[in-house]
Amino acid sequence: MKKSILLILVAFMGFKNYSQGDYIPTASNLEARQWFEDAKFGLFIHWGVYSILGDGEWVMQKQNISKDAYEMLPDFFNPIEFNAEEWVQMAKSAGMKYITITSRHHDGFSMFDSNATDYTIVKRTPYKKDVLKELAEACKKEGIKLFFYYSLLDWNRDDYFPRGRTGTGIMGRKQGKWDSYINFMKAQLTELLTNYGDIGGIWFDGDWDKKTANWHYDEIYKLIHDLQPQCLIGNNHHEAVKKGEDFQMFEKDLPGKSTQNFASKAEDIGNLPKEVCETINGSWGFNLQDRRHKSKKELIQYLINAAGYGSNLLLNVGPMPNGKIQPKHVQSLLEIGDWLKIHGQTIYGTKAGPIPPNTERVSTQKGNTVYLHWLNNQKNIIFIPRFDKKINSIKLFGSNQKLKFKKDDYGLTLKLPESSLDPIDTIIEITLK
Ligand code: GLC
C-alpha cells in the first residue's frame, strides 16, 4: 500500500494524526498509544546491584568505584525476598496500569538473562534467576503492561567508546569499537522483545551522555517496531520527540515546566502521549539515607497535576537489595490507590481539560464532562477567567449537590459550600452543553 493512502487511512481511523516524517505507526501501535494515554498511572522501578550500596543508581560514578571493584557487587546480590506477584499486586492496588523496570542501567549490569554478555543477574549473582521473566509472568497474569527501561549509556563496557561526559573518574575502562556497542544493544533489545511476551514499551535513557554520538536510532527503533509493532518507544533525551518515538517523556517536571534545567522547552511539546516521571522520595535507586519521602498530598496532587497537563505519571520506587520495597513507600502507594478508588473517574481516560492549569487548579475532561480539580483548599469562591464553554450544570463530584454559578464576559464564578473543601482536591464536575 502506498504511504499516502496508509496515512489517509490512519487519519480516518479516528486516531490522532501522530505521523512523524516517514515513520508510520501501525494500527496496533496507535491503539497502544491510546491505551497508554488513558492509563495515566504507572510504576517506575529502579533496581540493580547498586541497591546493595544504598546510595542510588549513580553510585558507581558518584563514589568513582573502579570497574573491577564494582564487578564484585553481583556476588552479593541475592534478593531472596523478591516476589514478582507481590510487586504487581502492590502496583494494582495503587491504581497503576503499567510497570516500567530497569533492565540495564548506566552501570551496565543486565537484570535479565542475556546471551550478549555474561554480566547478568543469571550468570553473576548467587540468586541466578531472571527477575524480569518473573515480573513479565506476574504482569501478564494480572493484566498489567510491562515496559523496559534501557540505558544507552554504559560505564562498564569498553566498546562504549568514545566515552561520554559522565563516569570519567571510573578507573579500568578500556577502548573499544562503537559499532560493537551498537550491535550489543541490538542483540539485547532483540532478547527483551522476544523472550518476555508482549512488551508495552522501551524507555531509553542516557542519550544526554553523548550529545553528538550516532546512536543509530533509525535502525534501533525499526528493530523494535519490527519485532513488536505495538511496543511504544520513548527516549529521555530531554528534546523534542524524534522520528520513530511513540510518546514523549518529561523527567521530574510537568510538560512545559523546567525546574530541573533539562526539561524540554515548552515549544518542544508535541502531540504524542506524554509521561512525567517522578521519585517517591528524592532518589531513583534505593537510597538508605533518603528521608525526602513525599507526603500523601504531594503524591496525589502530582498525579492530578500530571493528568491536568494531559500526561501520565510514572512514579518511581527503588527496591532494596533483598527484593522488598520499603514499607513506607508501599504505604504511600496504597494511599494513592485508595484515593483513586473514589476519584479515579476524574483521572483515567481523561485528557487535559479546557481550564488552563495553574498552582490553584487543573482540569481534566472526558466527553462532555470537565473535572475541575481545586487544589489546596484555599478558598471556597472560585473564579475562572474567560471560561467560554456553554454549561449545562455544575455539581460537586460524587454527590448530587448542584452548585450555583455565574457566567459572564469576565468568566465563571462558583461558590462551594465550606464543608465540601478537601485539603487535597475538591473536584467540581462541570457538564458542558
Ligand atoms: C536520569 C538519571 C537516571 C534515571 C533517570 C530516570 O536520567 O540519570 O539515573 O534512571 O533519570 O528518569
Mean per-residue pLDDT pooled into runs of 10, the chain (433 residues): 46 46 91 98 98 98 98 98 98 98 98 98 98 98 98 98 97 97 98 98 98 96 98 95 96 88 72 97 98 98 98 98 98 98 98 95 98 89 94 95 93 93 96 96
Give the residue from 286, 191, 199, 195 showing the smallest Cα distance to 234: 199
Beta-carbon count within 10 A of 21 CB: 8
Cα dist. 66→74, 168, 171 in Å? 14, 11, 5
pLDDT attached to residue 265: 67
Angle between helices 131-142 and 84-93 (to 10 degrees): 40
Q: Which atom belonging to ligand 1 lies closest to the Cα atom of 56?
A: 9
**Exposed/middle/buried for 389, CB within 10 Å: 0-12, 13-18, 19+?**
middle
Ligand 1 centroid to residue 317 C-alpha, Å: 12
Give the residue from 87, 117, 93 showing the smallest Cα distance to 104: 117
Beta bridge partners of 204: 150, 235
What's the number of CA atoms in the CB half-sphere (13 Å) around residue 2? 3
CA distance linking residue 397 with residue 343, whole number of Å: 8
Cα dist. 4→24, 27, 31, 152, 285 in Å? 10, 15, 20, 34, 46
Give the residue from 274, 230, 239 showing the smallest Cα distance to 255: 274
Q: Which atom belonging to ligand 1 lies closest to the Cα atom of 106?
A: 9
Ligand 1 centroid to residue 327 C-alpha, Å: 23
| Of 100, 205, 209, 260, best ligand 1 pocket probe by most atoms within 8 Å of the beta carbon | 205
Ligand 1 centroid to residue 416 C-alpha, Å: 42
pLDDT attached to residue 234: 98
Helix (H, G, I), strand (E, B) or coil at 23: strand
**Exposed/middle/buried for 185, CB within 10 Å: 0-12, 13-18, 19+?**
buried
Residue 130: phi and psi, rounded to 5, are -85, 100
For the chain, the residue count is: 433
Q: Which atom belonging to ligand 1 lies closest to the Cα atom of 105?
A: 10
Cα dist. 122→77, 117, 132, 175, 231 in Å? 11, 11, 11, 26, 25
Three-state SS string over 97-148 comes to CEEEEEEECCCCCECCCCCCCCCEHHHHCCCCCCHHHHHHHHHHHHCCEEEE
Ligand 1 centroid to residue 347 C-alpha, Å: 26
Tell how many helices (H) and how many strands (E) occur in the chain.
12, 16
Taking the CA atoms of the chain, what radius of gyration do you get in angstroms? 23
Amino acid at 381: I
Q: Domain 353-432 belongs to what topology?
A: Immunoglobulin-like (2.60.40)
162: preceding bond cis by omega (within 30 degrees): yes
Asked if 320 and 326 touch (Cβ cutoff 8 Å), the reply is yes
Domain spans in the chain, listed from the N-terminal domain onward: 2-349, 353-432
What are the pLDDT digits (tens) for 315-361?
999 999 999 999 999 999 999 999 999 999 999 999 999 999 999 99
Cα dist. 297→161, 230, 301, 332 in Å? 45, 35, 6, 10
Angle between helices 217-227 and 178-192 (to 10 degrees): 20
| Of 47, 148, 150, 251, best ligand 1 pocket probe by most atoms within 8 Å of the beta carbon | 251
Beta bridge partners of 151: 205
| Of 166, 210, 235, 236, best ligand 1 pocket probe by most atoms within 8 Å of the beta carbon | 236
195: Cα separation from own chain's centroid = 22
Q: Which residue has the cell 553481583?
A: 74
Beta bridge partners of 343: none
CA distance linking residue 58 with residue 167, whole number of Å: 9
Residue 71: phi and psi, rounded to 5, are -70, -5
Pocket of ligand 1 (CB under 6 A): 46, 57-58, 205, 236, 251, 277, 284
CA distance linking residue 433 with residue 428, whole number of Å: 16
Q: Which residue has the cell 568514545?
A: 162
Q: Which residue has the cell 529521555?
A: 236
Amino acid at 300: I
Determine which residue's CA is closest to atom 12 belonging to ligand 1.
Answer: 251
Same fold yes or no, 2-349 and 353-432: no
Q: For the chain, how are helix, strand and coil distributed in percent, rounded to 5?
A: 30, 20, 45
Determine which residue's CA is closest to atom 10 belonging to ligand 1.
Answer: 284
CA distance linking residue 330 with residue 202, whole number of Å: 25
Determine which residue's CA is closest to atom 11 belonging to ligand 1.
Answer: 251
CATH 3.20.20.80 assigned to 2-349 = yes
Ligand 1 centroid to residue 3 C-alpha, Å: 37
Cβ neighbours of residue 364 under 8 Å, at least 6 residues apart? 307, 308, 346, 347, 350, 351, 352, 353, 370, 371, 373
Q: What predicted TM-score, i.e. pTM, was given to this entire model?
A: 0.94
